[in-house]
């Protein structure tokens, strides 16, 4: 069971890492594009068509593409008031707290994964498009990256819960024996 958990964890961590790289590249491109657009708008009175629209979509993608990677580092997924007030005494309590938070997040993430997957599929099947400065962009393309982000977040939560229940402190240190 621990071999399967280690393999799953490795796949999920690598996927989250790749998506973090993609999100970082998007952030760099949005920053450069917005800077150039501001310079073009204020100094030359000629803004770049579509930069504002792309940056709006990109900010949404950044949040979802980076969520799984943040979770692998246990960042931003904590209720620190409860952690400090109730669960700060022993490692056993900290483990229970971590399991509790991961399970609560999973209860939130699973329905959202289902809904985003469903909306992506509906948009794809109906051929829905978003119209704007860039022309007609398939709505499914916009939703797809949100769905991918929720999938990675959900799988990371499942790996965290499984490692917590099985008592594997660090998946990199887990024994190879079955």
Residue 84 included in any domain = yes
Burial of 130 (0-12, 13-18, 19+ CB in 10 A): middle
Q: Which tens digits make up the pLDDT trace of 29-45?
A: 999 999 999 999 999 98
- Looking at the structure of the chain, the number of domains it has is 1
Record the pTM: 0.77
Residue 176 included in any domain = no
Residue 143 included in any domain = yes
- Alpha-carbon distance of 112 to 154, in angstroms, equals 10
| CA-wise closest residue to 27 among 67, 59, 74 | 59
Residue 177 included in any domain = no
Residues 6+ positions from 98 with CB-CB distance below 8 Å: 74, 160, 164
Q: Which tens digits make up the pLDDT trace of 43-83?
A: 998 888 888 888 888 988 888 888 888 888 776 656 666 66
- Alpha-carbon distance of 126 to 140, in angstroms, equals 9
| CA-wise closest residue to 29 among 48, 3, 8, 5 | 48
Q: Which tens digits make up the pLDDT trace of 143-172?
A: 998 999 899 989 999 988 988 888 765 544
Q: Which domain holds residue 120?
A: 2-171
Residue 76 included in any domain = yes
């Amino acid at each position: 069971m621990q071999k399967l958990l280690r393999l799953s964890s490795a796949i999920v961590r690598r996927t989250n890492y790749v998506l973090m790289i993609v999100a970082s590249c998007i952030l760099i491109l949005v920053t450069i594009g917005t800077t150039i657009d501001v310079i073009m708008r204020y100094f030359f009175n000629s803004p770049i068509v579509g930069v504002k629209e792309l940056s709006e979509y990109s900010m949404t993608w950044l949040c979802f593409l980076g969520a799984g990677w943040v979770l692998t580092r246990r960042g931003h997924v904590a209720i620190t008031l409860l952690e400090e007030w109730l669960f700060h005494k022993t490692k056993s309590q900290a483990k229970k707290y971590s399991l509790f938070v991961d399970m609560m997040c999973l209860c939130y993430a699973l329905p959202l994964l289902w809904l985003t997957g469903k909306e992506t599929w509906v948009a794809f099947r109906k051929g829905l498009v978003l119209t704007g400065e860039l022309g007609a962009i398939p709505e499914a393309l916009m939703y797809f990256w949100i769905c991918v982000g929720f999938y990675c977040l959900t799988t990371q939560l499942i790996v965290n819960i499984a490692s917590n229940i099985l008592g594997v402190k660090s998946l990199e240190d887990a024994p190879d024996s079955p």
